[in-house]
A and B are shown apart, each in its own frame.
Chain A
Amino acid sequence: MSKNNSLKDMRIILYYTGEILVGVALLNIIPLLTALIEGDAASAADFTVSLGATLTLGAGLALLGTGGTRAGWKHGMVTVAFSWLVAMIVAAIPHWLSGHFGSYLDCVFDVMSGFTTTGLTLVQDLDHVSDSLNMWRHLLTFVGGQGIVVLALAIFTGEGGGGYDFYVGEGKDERLFPSVLHTAKAIWRISLLYLVLGTFVMWIVCISIGLNAGRGFLHALWIFMSSWSTGGFAPMSQSILYYHSRLFELVTFIFFVIGSFNFALHAAVLKGEWKELLRNLETMSFGTTMSLLSFFTAWGLVKFHVYPNLVALISKGFYQLASAHTTTGFMTIYPQQFVTEWGDIAILAVIIAMMFGGSACSTAGGFKGLRVGILFKALIQDTKRLLRPSSSIVIQKYHYHGERSLGEQQVRSAALVVLMYMAIFAIGALAGCMAGYPFLLSVFESASATGNVGLTVGISSPSMPAFLKIVYIFNMWAGRLEFMAILASAGFVASLFKGDRHARA
Protein backbone atom coordinates (compact mmCIF):
# COMPACT_ATOMS: atom_id res chain seq x y z
CA MET A 1 0.00 0.00 0.00
CA SER A 2 2.77 2.38 1.00
CA LYS A 3 4.89 1.56 -2.04
CA ASN A 4 1.90 1.88 -4.35
CA ASN A 5 1.12 5.30 -2.93
CA SER A 6 4.76 6.42 -3.34
CA LEU A 7 4.80 5.29 -6.94
CA LYS A 8 1.49 7.03 -7.62
CA ASP A 9 2.76 10.26 -6.04
CA MET A 10 5.98 10.12 -8.03
CA ARG A 11 4.15 9.52 -11.29
CA ILE A 12 1.94 12.57 -10.70
CA ILE A 13 5.02 14.67 -9.90
CA LEU A 14 6.84 13.36 -13.00
CA TYR A 15 3.87 14.17 -15.22
CA TYR A 16 3.58 17.79 -14.10
CA THR A 17 7.37 18.26 -14.14
CA GLY A 18 7.33 16.96 -17.73
CA GLU A 19 4.64 19.50 -18.69
CA ILE A 20 6.64 22.35 -17.17
CA LEU A 21 9.76 21.20 -19.05
CA VAL A 22 7.83 21.16 -22.33
CA GLY A 23 6.94 24.80 -21.58
CA VAL A 24 10.62 25.60 -20.94
CA ALA A 25 11.57 23.77 -24.15
CA LEU A 26 9.17 25.88 -26.21
CA LEU A 27 10.85 29.03 -24.90
CA ASN A 28 13.97 28.00 -26.88
CA ILE A 29 12.10 28.96 -30.05
CA ILE A 30 12.54 32.70 -29.31
CA PRO A 31 16.38 32.71 -29.11
CA LEU A 32 16.44 30.18 -31.96
CA LEU A 33 14.51 32.64 -34.15
CA THR A 34 16.86 35.43 -33.02
CA ALA A 35 19.85 33.37 -34.15
CA LEU A 36 18.19 32.47 -37.47
CA ILE A 37 17.23 36.10 -38.22
CA GLU A 38 20.81 37.19 -37.53
CA GLY A 39 22.26 34.30 -39.57
CA ASP A 40 24.13 32.98 -36.52
CA ALA A 41 24.26 29.29 -37.46
CA ALA A 42 26.35 28.19 -34.46
CA SER A 43 23.91 29.66 -31.93
CA ALA A 44 20.95 28.32 -33.93
CA ALA A 45 22.46 24.85 -33.62
CA ASP A 46 22.91 25.34 -29.84
CA PHE A 47 19.25 26.22 -29.36
CA THR A 48 18.08 23.43 -31.66
CA VAL A 49 19.98 20.93 -29.48
CA SER A 50 18.56 22.54 -26.34
CA LEU A 51 15.02 22.53 -27.72
CA GLY A 52 15.27 18.89 -28.76
CA ALA A 53 16.83 17.70 -25.51
CA THR A 54 14.42 19.60 -23.25
CA LEU A 55 11.39 18.60 -25.28
CA THR A 56 12.45 14.94 -25.26
CA LEU A 57 13.06 14.97 -21.51
CA GLY A 58 9.81 16.83 -20.81
CA ALA A 59 7.73 14.56 -23.03
CA GLY A 60 9.49 11.49 -21.61
CA LEU A 61 8.73 12.48 -18.01
CA ALA A 62 5.12 13.31 -18.92
CA LEU A 63 4.76 9.87 -20.57
CA LEU A 64 6.31 8.13 -17.55
CA GLY A 65 4.01 10.02 -15.23
CA THR A 66 0.28 9.96 -14.69
CA GLY A 67 -1.78 12.74 -16.15
CA GLY A 68 -5.40 13.58 -15.63
CA THR A 69 -5.13 13.04 -11.87
CA ARG A 70 -5.97 15.96 -9.66
CA ALA A 71 -2.71 17.02 -8.05
CA GLY A 72 -2.82 17.65 -4.32
CA TRP A 73 -0.96 20.05 -2.10
CA LYS A 74 2.00 17.69 -1.71
CA HIS A 75 2.30 17.09 -5.45
CA GLY A 76 2.14 20.81 -6.20
CA MET A 77 4.86 21.70 -3.72
CA VAL A 78 7.25 18.89 -4.70
CA THR A 79 6.67 19.43 -8.43
CA VAL A 80 7.55 23.12 -8.16
CA ALA A 81 10.77 22.52 -6.21
CA PHE A 82 11.77 19.59 -8.45
CA SER A 83 10.87 21.24 -11.75
CA TRP A 84 12.88 24.38 -10.92
CA LEU A 85 15.96 22.19 -10.38
CA VAL A 86 15.46 20.12 -13.53
CA ALA A 87 14.64 23.24 -15.57
CA MET A 88 17.84 24.84 -14.27
CA ILE A 89 19.91 21.90 -15.54
CA VAL A 90 18.36 21.64 -19.01
CA ALA A 91 18.07 25.41 -19.60
CA ALA A 92 21.85 25.61 -19.13
CA ILE A 93 22.50 23.61 -22.32
CA PRO A 94 22.76 26.71 -24.61
CA HIS A 95 24.98 28.39 -22.02
CA TRP A 96 27.37 25.44 -22.04
CA LEU A 97 27.37 25.10 -25.83
CA SER A 98 28.12 28.83 -26.23
CA GLY A 99 31.61 28.39 -24.77
CA HIS A 100 31.26 31.44 -22.54
CA PHE A 101 31.26 29.52 -19.26
CA GLY A 102 34.09 27.80 -17.44
CA SER A 103 32.05 24.81 -16.28
CA TYR A 104 28.53 23.38 -16.35
CA LEU A 105 28.18 24.47 -12.72
CA ASP A 106 28.76 28.08 -13.84
CA CYS A 107 26.04 27.60 -16.47
CA VAL A 108 23.46 26.30 -14.00
CA PHE A 109 24.42 29.11 -11.60
CA ASP A 110 23.64 31.63 -14.35
CA VAL A 111 20.34 29.92 -15.19
CA MET A 112 19.22 29.72 -11.55
CA SER A 113 20.22 33.36 -11.18
CA GLY A 114 18.04 34.15 -14.21
CA PHE A 115 15.03 32.06 -13.22
CA THR A 116 15.07 33.46 -9.68
CA THR A 117 15.50 37.03 -11.04
CA THR A 118 18.72 37.40 -9.07
CA GLY A 119 21.13 38.71 -11.68
CA LEU A 120 24.43 37.39 -10.37
CA THR A 121 26.38 35.96 -13.28
CA LEU A 122 29.45 33.81 -13.92
CA VAL A 123 29.55 34.40 -17.68
CA GLN A 124 32.94 35.09 -19.21
CA ASP A 125 33.31 37.95 -21.67
CA LEU A 126 29.66 39.02 -21.45
CA ASP A 127 30.26 41.90 -23.86
CA HIS A 128 30.84 39.42 -26.71
CA VAL A 129 28.05 36.96 -25.99
CA SER A 130 25.76 36.28 -28.98
CA ASP A 131 22.43 38.11 -29.17
CA SER A 132 20.56 34.82 -29.06
CA LEU A 133 22.24 33.78 -25.78
CA ASN A 134 21.51 37.21 -24.34
CA MET A 135 17.91 36.78 -25.50
CA TRP A 136 17.82 33.41 -23.71
CA ARG A 137 19.30 34.79 -20.48
CA HIS A 138 16.89 37.72 -20.35
CA LEU A 139 13.94 35.56 -21.38
CA LEU A 140 14.68 33.19 -18.50
CA THR A 141 14.71 36.09 -16.07
CA PHE A 142 11.46 37.49 -17.52
CA VAL A 143 9.70 34.13 -17.36
CA GLY A 144 11.19 33.41 -13.94
CA GLY A 145 9.81 36.69 -12.65
CA GLN A 146 6.25 35.71 -13.49
CA GLY A 147 7.02 32.11 -12.48
CA ILE A 148 7.85 29.22 -14.79
CA VAL A 149 5.06 27.19 -13.22
CA VAL A 150 2.66 30.10 -13.66
CA LEU A 151 3.60 30.00 -17.35
CA ALA A 152 2.90 26.27 -17.53
CA LEU A 153 -0.39 26.82 -15.69
CA ALA A 154 -1.39 29.48 -18.18
CA ILE A 155 -0.54 27.21 -21.12
CA PHE A 156 -1.45 23.70 -20.05
CA THR A 157 -3.63 23.55 -16.97
CA GLY A 158 -7.37 23.28 -17.29
CA GLU A 159 -9.86 24.57 -14.75
CA GLY A 160 -10.02 21.20 -13.00
CA GLY A 161 -6.30 20.90 -12.16
CA GLY A 162 -5.03 21.53 -8.65
CA GLY A 163 -3.16 24.54 -9.96
CA TYR A 164 -3.34 26.59 -6.79
CA ASP A 165 -0.87 24.28 -5.05
CA PHE A 166 1.67 24.86 -7.82
CA TYR A 167 1.03 28.59 -7.71
CA VAL A 168 1.63 28.81 -3.93
CA GLY A 169 4.69 26.59 -4.21
CA GLU A 170 6.27 29.17 -6.49
CA GLY A 171 6.08 31.85 -3.79
CA LYS A 172 2.89 33.51 -4.99
CA ASP A 173 -0.06 33.14 -2.69
CA GLU A 174 -2.69 35.60 -3.85
CA ARG A 175 -5.39 34.81 -6.31
CA LEU A 176 -6.17 37.79 -8.51
CA PHE A 177 -9.28 35.87 -9.55
CA PRO A 178 -11.09 32.92 -7.93
CA SER A 179 -9.63 30.60 -10.58
CA VAL A 180 -5.87 30.08 -10.48
CA LEU A 181 -5.88 29.65 -14.26
CA HIS A 182 -7.38 33.14 -14.67
CA THR A 183 -4.87 34.44 -12.12
CA ALA A 184 -1.96 32.98 -14.10
CA LYS A 185 -3.32 34.45 -17.32
CA ALA A 186 -3.89 37.84 -15.65
CA ILE A 187 -0.26 37.89 -14.44
CA TRP A 188 0.88 37.28 -18.01
CA ARG A 189 -1.52 39.87 -19.46
CA ILE A 190 -0.17 42.54 -17.07
CA SER A 191 3.44 41.57 -17.83
CA LEU A 192 2.90 41.53 -21.59
CA LEU A 193 1.13 44.92 -21.50
CA TYR A 194 4.13 46.40 -19.72
CA LEU A 195 6.54 44.48 -21.99
CA VAL A 196 5.14 46.23 -25.06
CA LEU A 197 4.92 49.68 -23.43
CA GLY A 198 8.24 49.39 -21.60
CA THR A 199 10.22 48.08 -24.57
CA PHE A 200 8.90 50.92 -26.72
CA VAL A 201 9.86 53.58 -24.15
CA MET A 202 13.28 51.98 -23.57
CA TRP A 203 13.81 51.80 -27.34
CA ILE A 204 13.25 55.55 -27.68
CA VAL A 205 15.69 56.11 -24.80
CA CYS A 206 18.28 53.77 -26.36
CA ILE A 207 18.08 55.58 -29.71
CA SER A 208 18.28 58.98 -27.95
CA ILE A 209 21.57 57.99 -26.32
CA GLY A 210 23.12 56.91 -29.60
CA LEU A 211 22.37 53.20 -30.10
CA ASN A 212 21.21 52.29 -33.61
CA ALA A 213 17.61 51.10 -34.10
CA GLY A 214 18.36 47.38 -34.27
CA ARG A 215 20.82 47.22 -31.40
CA GLY A 216 18.71 49.73 -29.47
CA PHE A 217 15.64 47.49 -29.80
CA LEU A 218 17.44 44.45 -28.45
CA HIS A 219 18.94 46.39 -25.54
CA ALA A 220 15.55 47.97 -24.83
CA LEU A 221 13.83 44.59 -24.80
CA TRP A 222 16.45 42.95 -22.58
CA ILE A 223 16.78 45.83 -20.13
CA PHE A 224 13.00 46.08 -19.87
CA MET A 225 12.67 42.33 -19.24
CA SER A 226 15.32 42.61 -16.58
CA SER A 227 13.82 45.74 -14.98
CA TRP A 228 10.26 44.44 -14.89
CA SER A 229 11.38 41.10 -13.48
CA THR A 230 13.62 42.91 -10.97
CA GLY A 231 16.22 40.59 -12.49
CA GLY A 232 19.41 42.54 -12.86
CA PHE A 233 20.84 40.85 -15.95
CA ALA A 234 22.18 43.31 -18.51
CA PRO A 235 23.70 42.71 -21.94
CA MET A 236 26.89 44.57 -21.03
CA SER A 237 29.32 43.68 -18.24
CA GLN A 238 29.18 47.21 -16.82
CA SER A 239 25.43 46.86 -16.27
CA ILE A 240 23.57 50.23 -16.42
CA LEU A 241 26.84 52.14 -16.01
CA TYR A 242 27.58 51.21 -19.65
CA TYR A 243 24.90 53.60 -20.95
CA HIS A 244 26.17 56.71 -19.09
CA SER A 245 22.73 58.27 -19.19
CA ARG A 246 20.66 59.82 -16.41
CA LEU A 247 17.55 59.38 -18.56
CA PHE A 248 18.30 55.67 -18.92
CA GLU A 249 18.71 55.42 -15.14
CA LEU A 250 15.42 57.27 -14.53
CA VAL A 251 13.43 55.07 -16.91
CA THR A 252 14.90 51.82 -15.56
CA PHE A 253 14.18 53.08 -12.01
CA ILE A 254 10.50 53.58 -12.90
CA PHE A 255 10.21 50.11 -14.44
CA PHE A 256 11.95 48.20 -11.68
CA VAL A 257 9.96 49.99 -8.97
CA ILE A 258 6.72 49.15 -10.80
CA GLY A 259 8.02 45.60 -11.37
CA SER A 260 8.47 45.16 -7.63
CA PHE A 261 4.75 45.79 -6.98
CA ASN A 262 2.38 42.98 -6.08
CA PHE A 263 0.45 41.56 -9.06
CA ALA A 264 -2.75 41.91 -7.02
CA LEU A 265 -1.94 45.63 -6.71
CA HIS A 266 -1.30 45.90 -10.47
CA ALA A 267 -4.64 44.20 -11.16
CA ALA A 268 -6.46 46.57 -8.78
CA VAL A 269 -4.78 49.72 -10.13
CA LEU A 270 -5.28 48.72 -13.77
CA LYS A 271 -8.99 48.23 -13.01
CA GLY A 272 -9.19 51.82 -11.78
CA GLU A 273 -8.59 51.36 -8.05
CA TRP A 274 -5.49 53.56 -8.14
CA LYS A 275 -6.05 54.88 -4.59
CA GLU A 276 -4.91 51.44 -3.39
CA LEU A 277 -1.36 52.59 -4.20
CA LEU A 278 -1.50 55.16 -1.41
CA ARG A 279 -3.24 53.01 1.21
CA ASN A 280 -1.90 49.48 0.70
CA LEU A 281 0.12 48.18 3.66
CA GLU A 282 2.79 46.88 1.31
CA THR A 283 3.41 50.11 -0.60
CA MET A 284 3.36 52.04 2.69
CA SER A 285 5.85 49.57 4.18
CA PHE A 286 8.06 49.81 1.09
CA GLY A 287 7.92 53.62 1.10
CA THR A 288 8.77 53.80 4.79
CA THR A 289 11.72 51.40 4.71
CA MET A 290 13.00 52.98 1.50
CA SER A 291 12.87 56.44 3.13
CA LEU A 292 14.62 55.30 6.30
CA LEU A 293 17.31 53.45 4.38
CA SER A 294 17.72 56.44 2.01
CA PHE A 295 18.55 58.51 5.08
CA PHE A 296 21.22 56.07 6.30
CA THR A 297 22.69 55.51 2.83
CA ALA A 298 22.91 59.25 2.23
CA TRP A 299 24.39 59.75 5.70
CA GLY A 300 27.09 57.12 5.04
CA LEU A 301 27.96 58.48 1.60
CA VAL A 302 27.97 62.16 2.56
CA LYS A 303 29.93 61.51 5.75
CA PHE A 304 32.76 59.89 3.77
CA HIS A 305 32.51 62.46 0.92
CA VAL A 306 32.09 59.63 -1.59
CA TYR A 307 30.39 61.71 -4.31
CA PRO A 308 31.09 65.36 -5.13
CA ASN A 309 27.52 66.59 -5.74
CA LEU A 310 23.83 65.80 -5.32
CA VAL A 311 23.36 64.48 -8.87
CA ALA A 312 26.15 61.92 -8.46
CA LEU A 313 24.91 61.08 -4.98
CA ILE A 314 21.44 60.27 -6.30
CA SER A 315 22.58 58.65 -9.54
CA LYS A 316 24.96 56.32 -7.70
CA GLY A 317 23.76 56.17 -4.09
CA PHE A 318 19.98 56.35 -4.35
CA TYR A 319 19.85 54.29 -7.56
CA GLN A 320 21.86 51.50 -5.94
CA LEU A 321 19.66 51.58 -2.85
CA ALA A 322 16.47 51.41 -4.94
CA SER A 323 18.00 48.66 -7.06
CA ALA A 324 18.75 46.74 -3.84
CA HIS A 325 15.37 47.36 -2.20
CA THR A 326 13.40 46.27 -5.27
CA THR A 327 15.85 43.31 -5.55
CA THR A 328 16.75 44.30 -9.11
CA GLY A 329 20.52 44.40 -8.97
CA PHE A 330 21.27 46.92 -11.73
CA MET A 331 24.54 48.69 -11.00
CA THR A 332 25.68 52.22 -11.77
CA ILE A 333 28.99 51.68 -9.98
CA TYR A 334 31.70 49.03 -10.23
CA PRO A 335 31.50 46.19 -7.66
CA GLN A 336 34.81 47.21 -6.15
CA GLN A 337 33.46 50.69 -5.40
CA PHE A 338 31.14 49.22 -2.77
CA VAL A 339 34.22 47.85 -1.05
CA THR A 340 36.66 50.68 -1.47
CA GLU A 341 34.45 53.80 -1.41
CA TRP A 342 31.06 53.28 0.19
CA GLY A 343 31.92 52.75 3.87
CA ASP A 344 30.14 50.55 6.40
CA ILE A 345 26.97 52.65 7.01
CA ALA A 346 25.88 52.81 3.37
CA ILE A 347 26.79 49.16 2.71
CA LEU A 348 24.81 48.07 5.78
CA ALA A 349 21.79 50.09 4.58
CA VAL A 350 21.99 48.36 1.19
CA ILE A 351 22.26 44.93 2.86
CA ILE A 352 19.12 45.64 4.93
CA ALA A 353 17.33 46.90 1.78
CA MET A 354 18.24 43.67 -0.05
CA MET A 355 16.81 41.61 2.78
CA PHE A 356 13.53 43.58 2.99
CA GLY A 357 12.99 43.28 -0.77
CA GLY A 358 9.93 44.18 -2.83
CA SER A 359 6.33 43.00 -2.69
CA ALA A 360 4.78 39.61 -2.08
CA CYS A 361 3.32 37.96 -5.18
CA SER A 362 5.59 40.03 -7.40
CA THR A 363 8.76 39.41 -9.37
CA ALA A 364 10.86 40.63 -6.42
CA GLY A 365 12.64 38.71 -3.67
CA GLY A 366 13.52 39.35 -0.03
CA PHE A 367 11.25 39.18 3.05
CA LYS A 368 8.69 41.26 1.09
CA GLY A 369 7.06 44.51 2.19
CA LEU A 370 3.85 42.77 3.23
CA ARG A 371 5.67 40.67 5.86
CA VAL A 372 7.67 43.65 7.11
CA GLY A 373 4.38 45.58 7.41
CA ILE A 374 2.59 42.71 9.17
CA LEU A 375 5.41 42.25 11.68
CA PHE A 376 5.47 45.99 12.35
CA LYS A 377 1.70 46.00 12.92
CA ALA A 378 2.08 42.98 15.23
CA LEU A 379 4.71 44.92 17.19
CA ILE A 380 2.27 47.82 17.59
CA GLN A 381 -0.49 45.42 18.62
CA ASP A 382 1.69 43.77 21.28
CA THR A 383 2.82 47.15 22.60
CA LYS A 384 -0.83 48.24 22.93
CA ARG A 385 -1.60 44.99 24.76
CA LEU A 386 1.19 45.72 27.24
CA LEU A 387 -0.09 49.22 27.92
CA ARG A 388 -3.79 48.35 28.26
CA PRO A 389 -5.59 46.32 30.97
CA SER A 390 -5.13 42.58 30.50
CA SER A 391 -8.88 42.12 30.01
CA SER A 392 -9.03 44.44 26.99
CA ILE A 393 -9.03 43.06 23.44
CA VAL A 394 -6.71 44.83 21.02
CA ILE A 395 -7.68 44.58 17.35
CA GLN A 396 -5.03 45.81 14.92
CA LYS A 397 -6.35 46.94 11.56
CA TYR A 398 -4.48 47.40 8.30
CA HIS A 399 -5.37 48.21 4.72
CA TYR A 400 -4.61 45.61 2.10
CA HIS A 401 -7.18 45.58 -0.71
CA GLY A 402 -9.73 46.59 1.92
CA GLU A 403 -9.64 46.88 5.70
CA ARG A 404 -8.41 43.76 7.47
CA SER A 405 -7.81 42.68 11.05
CA LEU A 406 -4.39 41.33 11.91
CA GLY A 407 -4.62 37.63 12.82
CA GLU A 408 -2.21 35.41 14.72
CA GLN A 409 -1.83 33.09 11.72
CA GLN A 410 -0.64 35.93 9.45
CA VAL A 411 1.93 37.03 12.02
CA ARG A 412 3.11 33.46 12.51
CA SER A 413 3.47 32.86 8.74
CA ALA A 414 5.33 36.14 8.23
CA ALA A 415 7.65 35.47 11.17
CA LEU A 416 8.43 31.93 9.98
CA VAL A 417 9.34 33.04 6.46
CA VAL A 418 11.53 35.86 7.82
CA LEU A 419 13.19 33.39 10.19
CA MET A 420 13.88 30.97 7.33
CA TYR A 421 15.33 33.81 5.22
CA MET A 422 17.62 34.76 8.08
CA ALA A 423 18.77 31.15 8.50
CA ILE A 424 19.54 30.69 4.79
CA PHE A 425 21.20 34.10 4.66
CA ALA A 426 23.40 33.15 7.63
CA ILE A 427 24.43 29.91 5.90
CA GLY A 428 25.44 31.87 2.78
CA ALA A 429 27.38 34.42 4.83
CA LEU A 430 29.13 31.66 6.76
CA ALA A 431 30.03 29.88 3.51
CA GLY A 432 31.53 33.13 2.17
CA CYS A 433 33.66 33.53 5.30
CA MET A 434 34.73 29.87 5.09
CA ALA A 435 35.83 30.48 1.49
CA GLY A 436 38.13 33.21 2.81
CA TYR A 437 36.19 36.36 1.95
CA PRO A 438 35.92 39.22 4.52
CA PHE A 439 32.88 39.24 6.81
CA LEU A 440 31.06 42.29 5.44
CA LEU A 441 31.54 41.19 1.82
CA SER A 442 30.32 37.68 2.62
CA VAL A 443 27.24 39.12 4.32
CA PHE A 444 26.59 41.44 1.34
CA GLU A 445 26.87 38.69 -1.28
CA SER A 446 24.75 36.27 0.76
CA ALA A 447 22.01 38.90 1.22
CA SER A 448 22.14 39.52 -2.54
CA ALA A 449 21.81 35.82 -3.43
CA THR A 450 19.16 34.99 -0.80
CA GLY A 451 17.08 38.09 -1.56
CA ASN A 452 17.38 37.42 -5.35
CA VAL A 453 18.97 40.84 -5.83
CA GLY A 454 22.10 40.52 -7.95
CA LEU A 455 24.23 43.35 -6.61
CA THR A 456 27.77 42.13 -6.11
CA VAL A 457 30.92 43.18 -4.34
CA GLY A 458 32.88 40.91 -6.67
CA ILE A 459 32.66 37.57 -4.85
CA SER A 460 30.39 36.02 -7.50
CA SER A 461 32.89 35.28 -10.23
CA PRO A 462 33.97 32.18 -12.16
CA SER A 463 36.97 31.84 -9.84
CA MET A 464 35.01 31.48 -6.60
CA PRO A 465 35.06 28.04 -4.97
CA ALA A 466 32.62 25.46 -6.36
CA PHE A 467 31.03 24.83 -2.95
CA LEU A 468 30.20 28.55 -2.65
CA LYS A 469 28.55 28.49 -6.09
CA ILE A 470 26.40 25.56 -4.91
CA VAL A 471 25.48 27.37 -1.67
CA TYR A 472 24.46 30.50 -3.61
CA ILE A 473 22.43 28.38 -6.09
CA PHE A 474 20.60 26.88 -3.10
CA ASN A 475 20.08 30.32 -1.54
CA MET A 476 18.66 31.75 -4.78
CA TRP A 477 16.34 28.73 -5.20
CA ALA A 478 15.18 28.70 -1.57
CA GLY A 479 14.78 32.48 -1.49
CA ARG A 480 12.67 32.49 -4.63
CA LEU A 481 10.37 29.61 -3.70
CA GLU A 482 10.06 30.95 -0.14
CA PHE A 483 10.90 27.62 1.50
CA MET A 484 7.46 26.01 1.60
CA ALA A 485 7.99 23.94 -1.56
CA ILE A 486 11.51 23.02 -0.49
CA LEU A 487 10.48 21.95 3.00
CA ALA A 488 7.60 19.92 1.53
CA SER A 489 10.02 18.27 -0.92
CA ALA A 490 12.49 17.45 1.87
CA GLY A 491 9.64 15.94 3.86
CA PHE A 492 8.47 13.96 0.82
CA VAL A 493 11.96 12.56 0.12
CA ALA A 494 12.43 11.72 3.81
CA SER A 495 9.10 9.92 3.87
CA LEU A 496 10.13 7.87 0.83
CA PHE A 497 13.20 6.64 2.68
CA LYS A 498 11.34 6.03 5.93
CA GLY A 499 8.39 4.44 4.17
CA ASP A 500 6.15 6.38 6.53
CA ARG A 501 2.73 6.61 4.98
CA HIS A 502 1.47 9.21 7.44
CA ALA A 503 4.31 11.63 6.70
CA ARG A 504 3.31 11.72 3.08
CA ALA A 505 -0.41 12.08 3.64
Chain B
Amino acid sequence: MIRELRDGALATAWGVFAEIAFSLLLGLLGCAIFLLVLLILG
Protein backbone atom coordinates (compact mmCIF):
# COMPACT_ATOMS: atom_id res chain seq x y z
CA MET B 1 0.00 0.00 0.00
CA ILE B 2 2.70 2.47 1.10
CA ARG B 3 4.91 1.31 -1.78
CA GLU B 4 2.06 1.93 -4.26
CA LEU B 5 1.48 5.39 -2.83
CA ARG B 6 5.21 6.17 -2.98
CA ASP B 7 5.47 4.96 -6.58
CA GLY B 8 2.39 6.99 -7.54
CA ALA B 9 3.76 10.13 -5.87
CA LEU B 10 7.13 9.66 -7.59
CA ALA B 11 5.53 9.18 -11.01
CA THR B 12 3.43 12.31 -10.44
CA ALA B 13 6.49 14.34 -9.38
CA TRP B 14 8.43 13.18 -12.44
CA GLY B 15 5.41 13.89 -14.61
CA VAL B 16 5.12 17.47 -13.32
CA PHE B 17 8.86 17.90 -13.83
CA ALA B 18 8.60 16.53 -17.40
CA GLU B 19 5.73 18.89 -18.24
CA ILE B 20 7.61 21.90 -16.87
CA ALA B 21 10.76 20.85 -18.75
CA PHE B 22 8.79 20.39 -21.98
CA SER B 23 7.13 23.80 -21.70
CA LEU B 24 10.58 25.35 -21.08
CA LEU B 25 11.88 23.49 -24.12
CA LEU B 26 9.11 25.01 -26.24
CA GLY B 27 9.98 28.42 -24.80
CA LEU B 28 13.67 27.98 -25.57
CA LEU B 29 12.86 26.91 -29.12
CA GLY B 30 10.77 30.06 -29.61
CA CYS B 31 13.51 32.25 -28.10
CA ALA B 32 16.11 30.63 -30.39
CA ILE B 33 13.95 31.41 -33.43
CA PHE B 34 13.55 35.02 -32.32
CA LEU B 35 17.33 35.25 -31.85
CA LEU B 36 17.93 33.73 -35.27
CA VAL B 37 15.61 36.23 -36.96
CA LEU B 38 17.25 39.08 -35.05
CA LEU B 39 20.66 37.92 -36.27
CA ILE B 40 19.43 37.62 -39.86
CA LEU B 41 17.59 40.96 -40.04
CA GLY B 42 19.21 42.94 -37.25
A-to-B contact residues, CB < 8 Å: 193-194, 197, 250, 253-254, 257-258, 261, 266, 269-272, 274, 277-278, 283, 286-287, 290-291, 294-295, 297-299, 302-303, 310, 313-314, 317-318, 321-322
A362 to chain B, nearest CB (A): 12
Bound CA span A303–B9, Å: 49
B-to-A contact residues, CB < 8 Å: 11-12, 14-16, 18-20, 22-24, 26-27, 29-31, 33-38, 41-42
Given contacts A253-B23, A254-B24, A314-B31, contact A302 B18 (CB under 8 A): no
A456 to chain B, nearest CB (A): 22
On whether the beta carbons of A274 and B15 are closer than 8 Å, the reply is: yes
Given contacts A272-B15, A313-B38, contact A294 B30 (CB under 8 A): yes
A265 — nearest CB in chain B belongs to which residue? B19
On whether the beta carbons of B33 and A298 are closer than 8 Å, the reply is: yes
B42 — nearest CB in chain A belongs to which residue? A302
On whether the beta carbons of A254 and B11 are closer than 8 Å, the reply is: no
Bound CA span A297–B37, Å: 10
Task: Pick the contact of B41: A197, A286, A302 (CB < 8 A).
Answer: A302
Contacts of A295 in B (CB 8 A): 33, 36-37
B31 to chain A, nearest CB (A): 5
Contacts of A272 in B (CB 8 A): 11, 14-15
Bound CA span A254–B16, Å: 11
Task: Pick the contact of A298: B12, B22, B37 (CB < 8 A).
Answer: B37
Bound CA span A287–B18, Å: 16
Apart from A258-B23, A298-B34, list 12 A-B contacts with CB within 8 A. Answer: A253-B23, A254-B20, A269-B19, A270-B15, A272-B15, A278-B22, A291-B33, A295-B33, A295-B36, A298-B36, A302-B38, A310-B35
On whether the beta carbons of B19 and A277 are closer than 8 Å, the reply is: yes
A197 — nearest CB in chain B belongs to which residue? B16
On whether the beta carbons of A318 and B30 are closer than 8 Å, the reply is: yes
Bound CA span A299–B14, Å: 37
Task: Pick the contact of B37: A253, A254, A286, A299 (CB < 8 A).
Answer: A299
Contacts of A257 in B (CB 8 A): 23, 26-27
Bound CA span A287–B23, Å: 10
B33 to chain A, nearest CB (A): 4
| Max chain B Cβ within 10 angstroms of own Cβ: one of A269, A303, A318 | A269
Contacts of A261 in B (CB 8 A): 19
- Supply 22 A–B pairs (Cβ within 8 Å), ascending by A: A193-B16, A194-B16, A197-B16, A250-B27, A254-B20, A258-B20, A270-B16, A272-B14, A272-B15, A274-B18, A278-B22, A286-B26, A287-B29, A290-B26, A291-B33, A294-B30, A295-B36, A298-B34, A298-B37, A310-B35, A313-B34, A322-B27
Bound CA span A298–B23, Å: 20
Contacts of B37 in A (CB 8 A): 295, 298-299, 302
